[in-house]
Amino acid sequence: MEWQAGEPHTAARPRACSPSPPLKQNQRRSQRVLKVFKVLLFFVYTDSLPENLMSKEEEHGAMLQHLLVAADRYNLERLKLICEHRLCKCIEASTLATILALAEQHHCHGLKKACFNFLSSRVNLTAVLATDAFEYLNTTCPSRIS
């Protein structure tokens, strides 16, 4: 006997039974988690980061952000400071909001200070105002903007 599920039945099913995200998205996330974990283990055993952390500049910044989150989660203060220091060099108009949010969430005072130093330049501020980053800054740090 075959049973066909009609629309009311499929609409009522729990979210856990919903189709999962596309496989490629899951694979990318798994690969990213694996890379972060490998670098984390490398750091724990060698007290340093691999020289070839990432090849592309944008991936380098993203990897540092993920590493900073992991370092904070596992209380690896030295790794957190290294990531914070390196992320200070990745600040630009397009990354400012993300990096500032990260600095806020993980109590990275040096990184937060570097973000506001970046904004102190009129050219940089104008570039940030042209992005969606200003909207974020205006809602999260209104006292700093005015």
pLDDT, tens digit, 9 for 90 and up, residues 25-62: 777 778 888 989 999 999 999 999 888 766 555 567 88
3-state secondary structure 3-60: CCCCHHHHHHCCHHHCCCCCHHHHHHHHHHHHHHHHHHHHHHHHCCCCCCCCCCHHHH
Looking at residue 51, its pLDDT comes to: 81
Region for 29 from its dihedrals, namely left if φ exceeds 0, alpha if ψ lies in -120 to 50, beta otherwise: alpha
The whole-number average pLDDT for the span 60-84 is 94
Q: Which two tokens stand for residue 7?
A: 């629309």
Give me the residue spans of the domains in the chain.
22-145
pTM over 0.85? The answer is: no
- Look at the domain 22-145 and name its fold: Potassium Channel Kv1.1; Chain A (3.30.710)
Q: Is the pLDDT of residue 111 over 50?
A: yes
Q: Summarize pLDDT for 5-32 with one digit per residue, the tens.
A: 555 544 554 445 555 556 677 777 788 8
pLDDT score at 32? 82
